[in-house]
Chain A
Amino acid sequence: MAQESTEIARGLRRRDPDLLDRLIEQYQHRLLRYLLYLTGRRELAEDLFQETWVRVLERGHQFSDKYAFSTWLFAVARNLAIDHMRRKQPASLDGLLNDGETPFDVPATGRPSAFDATLQREQNEQIAAGMEHLPAEYREALVLRFQEGMSLEEIASVTCVPLGTVKSRIYRGLSALEPWLKGAPL
């Protein structure tokens, strides 16, 4: 991983467009998913997705190969999201709470065939709906932990909060999602 980070850091310093193309391909789903959960709005998430990669190009020289690229990438995306919200209204991440706009989309899973698939889809919908009702900072912690598979330390680094806060956000976030799994009204 260190070797990969070194190569990425070198390429970013050179502003190598081929490397950036490759990174965009590689991190497309993860970054969009993170932004989507962070902002709660697909259109905004897609705008921020593009902005993030432009920022990666411009500030690539600041990436240090001591860290994983994904940690830095998510931190860049997060800062852009916060900047966006500050421009809109002076606030922190709390401003990313849903404001009644388009809710999360849970697209069809691909091969709907059996009863299990339907059940799974319903459960996904319930969890997605539950996520929609969570405060943004809990949502973010859950996405980074369970969808991105980041360590608690990495999440603390991305979100710039102490480790204890990360733990408490994950705990509270999961606890808050529990009723939705049990079938809270959509």
Chain B
Amino acid sequence: MNTTNNDAHERARKLIVLTGSEAASGGDPGQLSSTAWLAAHLETCASCRAFAGNVGETIRGLRAIPIAAERNLVSTTQIRVRRRAVELQREREHLRLVWVSCTAVTLCALLSTFALWRGFEWLGERAQLASSVWQVGFVVFCVMPALVAAILLLAKDKHIADHTGSYQG
């Protein structure tokens, strides 16, 4: 019997807390039966009525606590957001430029490789060379700029290292 009473109080208190504000604003039709049960319980139970009163006051108190953003904070935030928007726009434009450049470079590379291939083929035929010879020539021609650059860089590093070494020595 006592347990049943405790359960009823517990249920009532949960309903008060969870539906209190909804009941005030019209409520959910699915909860109407619970609301009716709660109303009936509150009529007979003084402690739950007092609890409901306290909860109501707490909720009203919570809603009444005035916390406002200062004008300065709002304007600073708006300025910061606008500045970031400009940065993002600029980044997007840069990215677009990079994409366009990459596409253009890829297209140029494909076209020039094709033209060079045909050029080497034509030269090979004119000079009556075996196809493997002009093909090797084509590969060497393509790789040559990178090779030269690598050799020059290595030589430069070595030169700097020698120079630094002679100073230290």
Decide yes or no whether A145 CB sits under 8 A from chain B. Answer: yes
Q: How many A-B residue pairs have CB under 8 A?
A: 111
Within 8 A of B (CB), among A140-186: 142-143, 145-147, 149, 152, 167, 170-171, 174-175, 177-178, 181-182
Decide yes or no whether A49 CB sits under 8 A from chain B. Answer: yes
Decide yes or no whether B65 CB sits under 8 A from chain A. Answer: yes
| B interface majority secondary structure | helix
B-side contacts of A126, CB under 8 Å: 61
Provide the bound-state CA to CA distance between A53 and B65, in Å.
Answer: 24
Quick check: B58 and A49 within 8 Å, CB to CB? no
Residue of B nearest to A127 (CB): B61
A-side contacts of B17, CB under 8 Å: 170-171, 174-175
Q: Interface-forming stretch among A76-84, A85-93, A95-103, A104-112? A: A104-112
Decide yes or no whether A66 CB sits under 8 A from chain B. Answer: no
A-side contacts of B58, CB under 8 Å: 127, 174, 177-178, 181
With A25-B74, A181-B61 already in contact, the answer to whether A171 and B68 are too (CB < 8 A) is no
Quick check: B78 and A107 within 8 Å, CB to CB? no
Decide yes or no whether B77 CB sits under 8 A from chain A. Answer: yes
Provide the bound-state CA to CA distance between A147 and B67, in Å.
Answer: 11
Quick check: B77 and A49 within 8 Å, CB to CB? yes
Quick check: A58 and B84 within 8 Å, CB to CB? yes
Decide yes or no whether A38 CB sits under 8 A from chain B. Answer: no
Quick check: B84 and A57 within 8 Å, CB to CB? yes
Decide yes or no whether B14 CB sits under 8 A from chain A. Answer: yes
Quick check: A127 and B62 within 8 Å, CB to CB? yes
Decide yes or no whether A33 CB sits under 8 A from chain B. Answer: yes
Provide the bound-state CA to CA distance between A106 and B85, in Å.
Answer: 35
With A50-B80, A171-B18, A178-B54 already in contact, the answer to whether A58 and B88 are too (CB < 8 A) is yes
Decide yes or no whether A46 CB sits under 8 A from chain B. Answer: yes
CB distance from A95 to the nearest CB of B (A): 22
A-side contacts of B78, CB under 8 Å: 20-21, 24
Quick check: A181 and B54 within 8 Å, CB to CB? yes
Among B51, B62, B64, B77, contact of A50 (Cβ-Cβ < 8 Å)? B77
B-side contacts of A131, CB under 8 Å: 62
State the A residues within 8 Å of B (CB).
15, 17, 20-21, 24-25, 28-29, 31-33, 36, 46, 49-50, 53-54, 57-58, 106-107, 109-110, 120, 123-124, 126-128, 131, 142-143, 145-147, 149, 152, 167, 170-171, 174-175, 177-178, 181-182
In the A-B complex, list the 5 residue pairs whose CB atoms are closest, starting with the nearest: A28-B69, A127-B61, A32-B69, A33-B67, A146-B62
